[in-house]
Structure formats: structure tokens, C-alpha cells
Amino acid sequence: MPLFAMKSSAAMIACLCLSACITQREHVLAPDAWGIVIDARQGQPVQGAQVRYPEVGALAPVMTDTDGGFTLPGLTDKRTIVALPMGGVYRSLTEVRVSASGLADGYASAAFINGGRPAKTIYRVVVLMFPADAAETPLHELMRDCVDGPEQDHALHLADYVSALDPENPPVWFDEETPEALLEHLHNALPSSGFMACERMNEAYEMFKTQTEPLEAIRRAAYIASLPPHLRPLPEPAHK
């Protein structure tokens, strides 16, 4: 085959391959979510709170019911992408924001699998709300120079709240996935890399880890309880 013909054939094959790789795929901007809003001080559901996806203006907010529950519809759009051999399925988060009279805005993360189709949240979205005049926490003092915005301020109050939880007796509104939901949001709002901007970085990060330990303990206990009896660790012997 003449050299020119070979080059032309190669170019045509490359174009065909590229055309085959360019496709339209559904991309989830926000998942279909369901959840609950709790007044942290009272330990009671918040009725009539406004729940929304602040980064997705096309979606209207919804109001919580008498039990503090809500259902928040998501949004998916079509995007032209170059499909990769690895697929494109990945875990993602969309911020949820809640407003209610007399309370500071509350935040949570709606976690979902973005895999090219309409998505639902992996677990129930739990939003804790704190008084608008809530006092600063010890972690506020350590992170005064590196807290950026109301979402992080809320996360500091949330970390302080969960530090007082009794792993043996969690709140009645907890379900088995609540620890995972709260932990994922805390680590999203206060990632370990964010502590590096704090002058008292080590103290702040150690306090944060200590504060979230009750959630870790509740999560571990739920995981162990889900195992078949023969796979559960033996209880530690009682000390005399």
C-alpha cells in the first residue's frame, strides 16, 4: 500500500475511534435526597425548615414536615464527554443547606454514586441545626485563623455536639447509617488538608479526631453487629 494511502487509512481509523469515544452521558448535579432536620439543642425535629441545594439554583427548596423529614428532588443533565476505558462511575457529594427561624443555617452532604444515571443518596441526609447565638466551641478557639465561612462554622459546632454523644445510647433519631453520614460531612467540611492553614494545626486536628471518636465508636459497633456471629470479635475479658 502506498505511504499516502496508509497515512489516510490511519487518520480515518483514528477519527472513527474518537467518534466512538465521544458520547452524551447523564451527569448528576444533585441526587434525589431524603433526610431529617434536628434542633441540636432540643433534640427534636425541626418543622417548617427550608431545605435546598444552594449550588443548584434550578431546584426549588422544600419544607420539612412535622417529623422534620424532607424529600429533595435532584437534577441530572446531559453532557458530551470523551468516555474513558475506566468508565466514569464515582462517588460524589452535593451540599445541602437548611434555614429555620431562630437557628443558624445548617449544612449536610448528600452522598451518591454518579454513574451516568439518576442517583439517590446513599444514606439519609441528617442536618443538625444550632442556635443563631450559640457560643463558640474550644475548636473555634484553635481554628480562629483558618475557619472560612458559615459551613465550616457549623461543622465546628457539629464536631463539638458529637463529642458529647454516648456510644452506648445514641439519640433516638439515629439510624444505623447516621454516623457514616455525619462523619462524611465533617470530613468534607473540615478536611485534614484544611488544618494545615491553622497556626495551631496539630492541636486543632487532634481535638477534631477526639471529638469525632464517639461517631467512630457507634459506626464500629454497628458494623460488628452486622457481621455473622462467628465473625464477631470476642468480648474483652472483664478485669477483676
Alpha helices in 38-146 (DSSP H): 138-142
Q: Is the pLDDT assigned to residue 222 strictly greater than 60?
A: yes
CB 46 within 8 A of CB 100: yes
Written as one letter, the residue type at 49 is A
For the ranges 25-34, 154-163, 169-178, the maximum mean pLDDT occurs at 154-163
Domains of the chain: 25-133 (2.60.40.1120), 135-240 (no CATH)
Instruction: Write out the E strands in the chain.
Output: 22-30, 33-39, 44-45, 50-52, 62-63, 69-72, 75-82, 90-100, 103-114, 125-129
Q: Is the pLDDT assigned to residue 19 strictly greater than 50?
A: no
More confident residue, 178 or 234: 178
Confidence of residue 221 (pLDDT cuts 50, 70, 90): confident
Confidence (pTM): 0.82
Q: Is the pLDDT assigned to residue 25 strictly greater than 90?
A: no
Confidence of residue 225 (pLDDT cuts 50, 70, 90): confident
